[in-house]
Structure 1
Amino acid sequence: MLSKPNILVVGAGYVGLATAVHLAAKKFQVTVTEKNHATVDSLKRGKLHFREPGLAQAFKRTIDAKRLNPVLPSKNIFEEADLIFIAIDSVDRSDWRMRLTAFERMANWIGGSKRRTPPTIVLKSTNVVGFADQFRSLLDQTPYGARVRLVVNPEFLREGSAYQDTAKPWRIIIGRHHKRDATRLLDLYRRVYPKSIPIVQTDLKSAELIKLASNVYLAHRLAFIHEITDFARMEQLDITSIQQGIGQDKRIGLDYFTPGLGFGGSCLPKDCRLINSAEGESGFTFETALTAMNINDRLLEYLMANLKYHLGSLKGKKIAILGAAFKPEIDDVRGSQAVKLANHLRRAGAKVNVYEPFLPHTKKIIKGDIPLVHNLDEALKGASAFVIGTAHQQFARLQPNHSAKLMKKRIGVDYFGILNRKKWEKTGFEIV
């Protein structure tokens, strides 16, 4: 075994940087490569390009200790690496088809040079079932690629705790064709993880499916509690006690069982689509994934109908959406239900103000080109209603008296349940 393997991480997103920083913190020398010049420059200065609690401090320490080296992609860094962690997408989200150009280039760089000891490639990002076999085929077409060892080691990170989840995983999944393919990765993990963490070894496709199926299950849990709370809301039932009454059953639990605007982000919606894009001829359809997505979409339709019921026509009405990130205390708006809602409202003729405290007001949210306002007061001023778009802690401290002075009407939508309903209703607000 190599005493100190040369480690390369491809991709400086949440998965790539969390992986790179964790290994560098364990005193391994790590190179992380990213194609975006501005991102590489920022990383070299010790600055992250996204908000992720806990990661920024650990990242700065590894940069200062010179154990983490951000660089642009080049052939030589691939040729020199012993372990190559690939943390970039293989799927174009515009049509959900595989895009192999970047992987073809990497395969040629890795398999194009003769090595005494073949490198090990570790696929970290989520892919369709069968992608690893496709990449294996690309490697086998190169002069020395057949000797390269390929492993699927999916991540199970949650944004907002990505670094903690990398450092303390609940389990480790390793997919490989032959036991020897995982030897170098297992040797590394024995040095950085305690023996108490379970390791499941399986084949490549099974490892790919484990990741997709895990996220589809979580999406279905969220869809279930949202459907229950939709009904409870229409019947004016006690949503909190219903959620607690179901979730306190230890067979069910309260994790991923919190009401809100639905699930979003870069993982759950994507994986519900990817699981039905398997590279095979089975024609199998995962109805669970389709159902979860349908319920998620329907939730916003119900919310729109709720606003119309209380405001009449939405045309010309000013609506404040408080929070655009897909989950609390982060700045990632990918797949955000709040952003989708803003677009629905604009198409209905409403004037929409979006305030996201973790993004600069100069930024525009790409989906729909939605501008962000400077502050909370600007968002609420003259609004006929506000909608809690993200359950950021600061919105739970929103004051009804101050809000009433700014707003045209006293209507609030809080599907997360973070506001003190009785306190707001005493001020004349209707919280729906």
Structure 2
Amino acid sequence: MRIAMIGTGYVGLVSGACFADFGHVVTCIDKDAGKIARLESGEIPIFEPGLDDLVARNVAAGRLSFTLDGTRAIAEADAVFIAVGTPTRRGDGHADLSYVHAAAEEIAGLIDGFTVIVTKSTVPVGTGDEVEAIIRRVNPNAQFAVVSNPEFLREGAAIEDFKRPDRVVVGTEDERAQAVMRELYRPLSLNETPIVFTGRRTSELIKYAANAFLAMKITFINEMADLCEKVGADVQQVAKGIGLDKRIGGKFLNAGPGYGGSCFPKDTLAL
């Protein structure tokens, strides 16, 4: 299948390279001329173990390319992924969706025939409705479906997470779109990866709920660490003791400085 990936940041570049490695033909599109030039010369603008080899291998095979002008790629695509930035406003977690809206307007004028438009960026609940409304306004005759497909990639293990995920979440009730998404992720069927189909708003909320729950586990074990210091208990043994309960699980129960990174702080605040 043919994929147009709008945005060559962390999510877009990793996802595009992995989809290409699945055998799809992927064109990554970005407005940043410097970034596209670096990618075309073989330079990877982010650090992710194994990504440079993955990109080089699929570029050499003719399955992965980069461009500033997505006109042809979007017109020929079976699926167009929106993987642009959604920067947050300090203090209240408000997500700036201007890049998502701009991508939707561009896509609307270029799609040709039935096309699945997929929001890969982390976006507030209801963003898919806004994307659909923009495309309907710009191109009332367009044949398309807007799908939510949140990413669950850990920095440093993103390729493994994409190729061997715990699950794939797809938010759409459109049968044609479901068929396209199943085909895009078909290689994962070899690992019997669950593909969870939900409503679009439910899918958008799953991303926030997952990150908030993981942040809560980190916060909880840190509270237990403080308590352990007061009563003379061993927090590592406490974590092991509760983590062996399958209802709780042992991941994200490592006491430390608290949660951070690029996702948990903004997503918990946004939620």
Q: Would the TM-score normalized by the shorter structure come out above 0.5?
A: yes
Per the TM alignment, residue 221 of structure 1 is displaced from its structure 2 partner at its CA by 0.6
Aligned pairs (5 A) from 1:180-195: 180-191=176-187, 193-194=189-190
Which of the numbers 97, 106, 109 marks the counterpart of 1:112? 109
1:399 aligned residue: none
Match of 1:246 among 230, 242, 245: 242
1:165 pairs with 2:158: no
Describe the shift of the 1:104–1:254 C-alpha distance in structure 2 as closer, same or farther (beyond 3 A).
Answer: closer
Counterparts of 1:100 and 1:243, CA distance in 2: 39
TM-superposed deviation, 1:60: 2.2
SS of residue in 2 equivalent to 1:121? strand
**Contact 1:54 1:161 (8 Å CA) reproduced:** no
- 8 Å CA contact 1:23, 1:192 repeated in 2: no
Q: Structure 1 202/36 Cα, relative in aligned 2: closer, same or farther at 3 Å?
A: same
SS of the aligned residue for 1:48 comes to coil
Q: Is the 8 A contact 1:107 1:145 kept in 2?
A: no
Q: Deviations over 1:392-426 (max 9, x none)?
A: xxxxxxxxxxxxxxxxxxxxxxxxxxxxxxxxxxx
The match for 1:152 among 148, 151, 155 is: 148
Report the Cα offset of residue 126 of structure 1: 1.3
Tell me how far apart the structure 2 counterparts of residues 147 and 66 of structure 1 sit (CA, whole Å).
28
| Structure 1 position 128 matched with structure 2 position 124 | yes
Which has more helix, going by share of residues?
A: 2
The secondary structure found in structure 1 opposite 2:17 is: helix
Amino acid at match of 2:192: S
Is the partner of 1:270 in helix, strand or coil?
helix
Aligned residues between the structures: 270
CA distance in 1, matches of 2:96, 2:141: 20
Give the partner amino acid of 2:23.
K
Displacement, 1:200? 1.4
Which of these residues, 170, 189, 203, is aligned with residue 199 of structure 2?
203
Tell me by how many angstroms 1:73 deviates: 4.5
Match of 1:225 in 2: 221
SS in 2 for 1:141: helix
1:103-154: CA deviation from partner (whole Å, max 9, x where unpaired): 3333333222572x22111111211111111111111101246522111111
Deviation above 6 Å: which 4+ runs of structure 1? Answer: none
| CA pair 138-26 structure 1, distance change in 2 beyond 3 A | same
CA distance in 2, matches of 1:105, 1:74: 13
- Secondary structure of 1:97's aligned partner: coil
Provide the rounded CA distance (Å) in 2 between the counterparts of 1:187 and 1:15. 20
| Paired residues for 1:37-52 under 5 Å | 37-52=33-48
222-231 vs 27-36, which moves further? 27-36
In 1: Cα distance, 2:238 partner to 2:177 partner: 49
Letter in 2 for 1:120: V
Three-state SS of the structure 2 residue aligned to 1:9 is: strand
Give the distance between the partners of 2:246 and 2:187, measured in 1 at CA.
34
Tell me, what secondary structure is at the counterpart of 1:194?
helix
2:56 to 46, 60, 64: 60
Cα distance in 2 for residues equivalent to 1:112 and 1:264: 39
Structure 1: 5+ residue stretches without partners: 276-432
2:84–2:121 contact (8 Å) kept in structure 1: yes
Highest Rg: 1 or 2?
1
Q: Deviations over 1:324-356 (max 9, x none)?
A: xxxxxxxxxxxxxxxxxxxxxxxxxxxxxxxxx
Residue matched to 1:179: 175
More relative contact order in 1 or in 2 (CA 8 Å, sep 6+)? 2
In structure 2, the CA distance between the partners of 1:220 and 1:100, relative to structure 1 (3 Å rule), is closer
> Deviation string for 1:25-65 (max 9, x for gaps)?
12322111123333222211222222212323222222233
CA distance in 1, matches of 2:239, 2:52: 35
CA separation of 1:239 and 1:92: change in aligned 2, threshold 3 A: closer
Separation in structure 1 between the aligned mates of residue 57 and residue 263 of structure 2, nearest angstrom: 28
- Give the % identical residues: 35
Contact 2:25 2:63 in 1 (8 A): yes
**Cα deviation per residue 1:158-184 (whole Å; 9 max; x = unaligned)?**
111100110111111111142223222
Is 1:273 aligned to residue 266 of structure 2? no
Structure 1 residue 213: Cα displacement: 0.6
* Cα distance change on mapping 1:258 and 1:197 into 2, 3 Å: same
State the distance in 2 between where 1:246 and 1:98 align. Answer: 35
Call closer, same or farther: CA 1:102–1:75 in 2, change over 3 Å.
Answer: farther
Paired residue type of 1:172? V
Other-structure match for 1:28: 24
Aligned-residue Cα RMSD (Å) equals 2.2
When normalised by structure 2's length, the TM-score is: 0.90
The alignment's TM-score, normalised by the length of structure 1, stands at 0.58
Q: State how far apart, in whole Å, the 2-side matches of 1:246 and 1:184 are.
A: 41
Partner Cα separation in structure 2 for residue 99 and residue 269 of structure 1: 16
| Maintained 8 Å contact 2:81/2:117 | yes
Amino acid across the alignment from 2:107: I
1:214 Cα deviation from its structure 2 partner: 0.9
CA contact (8 A) 1:14 1:162 kept: no
Aligned to 2:68: 72
